[in-house]
Structure 1
Amino acid sequence: MILEIKNLHVKIGENEIIKGLNLTIKEGEMHVLMGPNGSGKTTLAKVIMGHPAYKVSEGDILADGKSILNLSTDKRAKLGLFLQFQEPVEIDGVGFVNFLRSSIESISDKPVNVRSMLNDVKSEESELKVNYSLIDKYLNKGFSGGEKKKSEILQMSLLKPKIAILDEPDSGLDVDAIKIVAKNIERVAKETGMGTILITHYNRILSYMNPSFVHIMEKGRIVKSGGMELVSQVEKSGYQGLGSDE
């Protein structure tokens, strides 16, 4: 998949949040989005997945050359898009395994071999060093912030998206968990060819990864693109004075 975001303008109510954003993501590429709070990073993630609260007033989002703006969220997921939430919601009464099975079947339109899926869940729990059994849990119920993030990375690994949008997968994690999550994102990307948009505020998770591109967002636009040197510059001097590529 090639995901193209072209001259995107997005409003919520009368407030324009994204103001002419351009970005192209190919399978196998990792694009990092950084920027100050309120710059539109999470809004972009939600708009890509079709959140109904946001209105695209201009521009387009294309998957392999075809607009997805009129597609519902479930149809975007079937195309191979995946969103890891910044703040995953607890859903009492919905078992993690049933949720995962339904998700996989909805995307693939094929019945799941539950025994095989449970083996995959246990394998991924081992990779993520999860010290509790998700099989017996309700979705995110009673999880810490870090446990919720690991749960969503596990979902990503089993759903095998073509493009994953990861909204602050490092928030709420301690140092050891950040390393584990980073390595597993890279592992899944390498195994599946998944493209990634990774939103973060911090350098720490990126020190365990090899992003293809780093983009700085400010006031609803990408103002600078480059490599890891941009991360070092942000760590040293903040976002001011980075200039503009557009």
Structure 2
Amino acid sequence: MVLEIKDLKVKSGEKEILKGMNLKINSGETHALLGPNASGKSTLVQVLAGNPRYEIAGGSILFNGLDITKLPTEERINLGLAIAWQNPPTIKGVKLSKLLDKISKKKIEPEELGANPGVLDRSVNLNFSGGEKKISELLQVISLNPKLVIFDEIDSGLDINKLEKVSKIIKKELIDKNVSVLVITHSGEILNFLKPEIINVLVDGKIICEENNYKRVLKTIKKYGYEKCRECELHADGP
């Protein structure tokens, strides 16, 4: 099992955000995580990244059987945990090529992702378009040769053509190579391309649904909203 989150409770100040969350991802599996605004999705990503601003009030995070709950970010990356951020930082004065040289465990060229190689000679994310930022994040996580990649709403702001392009890259470079993937999404549109084995629904800091039929879950949420998941009536309409 590549990732196991057990009874995770997380606070920011006095506010409890994750309230006993549980999640298991096996090696090579593709999972999706959906949830409404303020459900705890962004907090989960920050906690998995090792952001010290969030207080872990209980529970644990295991990565390949190792307890990483208190490990710093760099050690998590070295173990094979990678995150592609929805809003990655701009690093003025640092070329993308230099960053990739520093972090790379696996050589990957922009052309392999259908991108302009000129992106390597520009400061990381400085004046990048939305699509270029996605390519930059993909180059970085793929070059880390990870065991698990977490995508933080990578589908945000993409039209259907770019969404399909990004999905093909994720599938070819990660999923087809048996890398575990967790796709965190609000709209769920990307799931029609990635076809995850498991879909999880996060509401009010807890996973309230874990299903192997992502189409049924998406259909239910779009038709009835997340309250239907809370009521455990996902099967009401049948397959």
Q: Fold conserved (TM > 0.5)?
A: yes
Offset of 1:181 from its aligned partner? 0.5
Instruction: Verify: 1:61 aligned to 2:61, yes or no.
Output: yes
Q: 1:232 aligns with which of 191, 216, 219?
A: 219
Instruction: Verify: 1:160 aligned to 2:149, yes or no.
Output: no
- Residue 202 of structure 1 aligns with an amino acid whose one-letter code is S
Q: Deviations over 1:163-184 (max 9, x none)?
A: 1110001112122110011111
Offset of 1:9 from its aligned partner? 0.2
Is residue 8–residue 19 contact of structure 2 (8 Å, CA) maintained in 1?
yes
Alignment map for 1:23-38 (pairs within 5 Å): 23-38=23-38
Indicate the residue corresponding to 1:3 in structure 2: 3
Cα distance in 1 between the residues matched to 2:170 and 2:201: 21
Cα distance in 2 between the residues matched to 1:80 and 1:63: 9
Q: Deviations over 1:99-119 (max 9, x none)?
A: 111112xxx5xxx8xxxx4xx
Indicate the residue corresponding to 1:183 in structure 2: 168
The alignment's TM-score, normalised by the length of structure 1, stands at 0.88
Offset of 1:129 from its aligned partner? 2.7
Indicate the residue corresponding to 1:143 in structure 2: 128
Alignment map for 1:93-242 (pairs within 5 Å): 93-104=93-104, 117=107, 120-121=108-109, 125-131=110-116, 133-226=118-211, 227-228=213-214, 229-242=216-229
Is residue 146–residue 171 contact of structure 1 (8 Å, CA) maintained in 2?
no
Cα distance in 2 between the residues matched to 1:234 and 1:16: 25
The alignment's TM-score, normalised by the length of structure 2, stands at 0.91
Indicate the residue corresponding to 2:42 in structure 1: 42
**Structure 2: which 5+ residue stretches go unaligned?**
233-239
- Is 58-67 or 73-82 further displaced after alignment? 58-67
Is residue 224–residue 244 contact of structure 1 (8 Å, CA) maintained in 2?
no
The 1:244–1:59 alpha-carbon spacing in structure 2 relative to 1, beyond 3 Å, is farther
Q: Deviations over 1:74-93 (max 9, x none)?
A: 00000000011111111100
Cα distance in 2 between the residues matched to 1:64 and 1:156: 18
Cα distance in 2 between the residues matched to 1:197 and 1:230: 16
Aligned-residue sequence identity (percent) comes to 40
Cα distance in 2 between the residues matched to 1:132 and 1:236: 43
Cα distance in 2 between the residues matched to 1:244 and 1:148: 38
- Is 234-243 or 59-68 further displaced after alignment? 234-243
Cα distance in 1 between the residues matched to 2:32 and 2:133: 21
The 1:129–1:40 alpha-carbon spacing in structure 2 relative to 1, beyond 3 Å, is same
The 1:128–1:177 alpha-carbon spacing in structure 2 relative to 1, beyond 3 Å, is farther
User: How many residue pairs were aligned?
Assistant: 230
